[in-house]
């Protein structure tokens, strides 16, 4: 039920961190993977090819419609279909709400929310033609319970969860499943500055029942599940993977 052999996946923000881990995990489950990023994703492509799967890397800014359309066209020329889309690309900038910069708000919402919509819209058109598809949006526990000094990030991730539900409602009739994953704090380049803080690590140990941050590979199982036949009757769901953080008060 978890076999992805013969499937073609697109993963955004796949040069490192969660996107890289998910890309490799989908390949291990049998999928061919198109990896996209504004950064160089060649390392991810090579690791996927070493697994015997096909892969190409495409440079793309998810907030630019022309980039997204070009990516989809190139993917279809190479693979003829897209079965799985993982909307992972995202950024984070901390600031108190009263001093947050308008340009930071615009940039975060453009990448974290608009980017997921644009990619879902363009890939969704192909999935509607195919009458099948799996879309996985990477949201955050910050979309369910607010982090301080993260007003734009929190708003963007809450938006991702409602975007997910809306697309699930609209596209279920086309046999397209749309779900979200809400990670807690994982050890990635985005969080490395926080993880250097002893105070932050003490907070994690005190508030997360598993007393640690997640490792990128620990998100792969959730992604493979939502990409596979095992989740064929699951749609509009936001799956929390956070070591139990938001389960408590």
The pLDDT value given to residue 194: 84
Query: Is 153 marked active-site?
Result: yes
The pLDDT value given to residue 193: 85
Q: What residue has token string 């955004």?
A: 12
Exactly one of 92, 153, 225, 233 is catalytic; name it.
153
The pLDDT value given to residue 195: 87
**Do the beta carbons of residue 27 and residue 51 sit within 8 Å?**
yes
Alpha-carbon span 78 to 34, nearest angstrom: 10
pLDDT values of the chain reduced to their tens digit, one per residue, 249 residues: 999 999 999 999 999 999 999 999 999 999 999 999 999 999 999 999 999 999 999 999 999 999 999 999 999 999 999 999 999 999 999 999 999 999 999 999 999 999 999 999 999 999 999 999 999 999 999 999 999 999 999 999 999 999 999 999 999 999 999 999 999 999 988 888 888 899 999 999 999 999 999 999 999 999 999 999 999 999 999 999 999 999 987
**Do the beta carbons of residue 157 and residue 139 sit within 8 Å?**
yes
8-241 maps to which CATH number?
3.40.50.720
The pLDDT value given to residue 221: 98
Task: Determine if the pTM surpasses 0.95.
Answer: yes
Closest by alpha carbon to 147, among 77, 73, 96?
96
Residue 134 main-chain phi, psi, to 5 deg:
-130, 120
The pLDDT value given to residue 100: 97
């Amino acid at each position: 039920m978890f076999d992805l052999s013969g499937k073609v996946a697109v993963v955004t923000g796949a040069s490192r961190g969660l996107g890289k881990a998910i890309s490799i995990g989908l390949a291990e489950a049998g999928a061919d993977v198109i990896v996209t990023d504004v950064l160089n994703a060649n390392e991810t492509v090579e690791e996927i090819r070493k697994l015997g799967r096909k892969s190409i890397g495409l440079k793309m800014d998810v907030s630019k419609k022309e980039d997204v359309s070009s990516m989809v066209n190139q993917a279809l020329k190479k693979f003829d279909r897209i079965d799985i889309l993982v909307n992972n690309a995202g950024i984070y900038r901390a600031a108190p709400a009263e001093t947050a910069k308008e340009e930071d708000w615009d940039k975060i919402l453009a990448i974290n929310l608009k980017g997921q919509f644009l990619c879902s819209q363009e890939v969704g058109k192909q999935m509607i033609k195919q009458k099948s598809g799996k879309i996985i949006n990477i949201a955050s526990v910050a979309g369910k319970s607010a982090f301080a000094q993260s007003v734009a990030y929190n708003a963007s991730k809450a938006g991702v969860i409602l975007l997910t539900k809306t697309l699930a409602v609209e596209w279920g009739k086309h046999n397209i499943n749309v779900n979200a994953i809400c990670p807690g704090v994982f050890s990635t380049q985005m969080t490395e500055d926080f993880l250097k803080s002893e105070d932050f690590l003490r907070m994690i140990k005190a508030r997360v029942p598993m007393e640690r941050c997640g490792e990128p590979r620990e998100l792969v199982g959730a992604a493979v599940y939502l990409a596979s036949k095992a989740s064929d009757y699951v749609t509009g769901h936001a799956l929390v993977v956070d070591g139990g953080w938001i389960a408590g008060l």
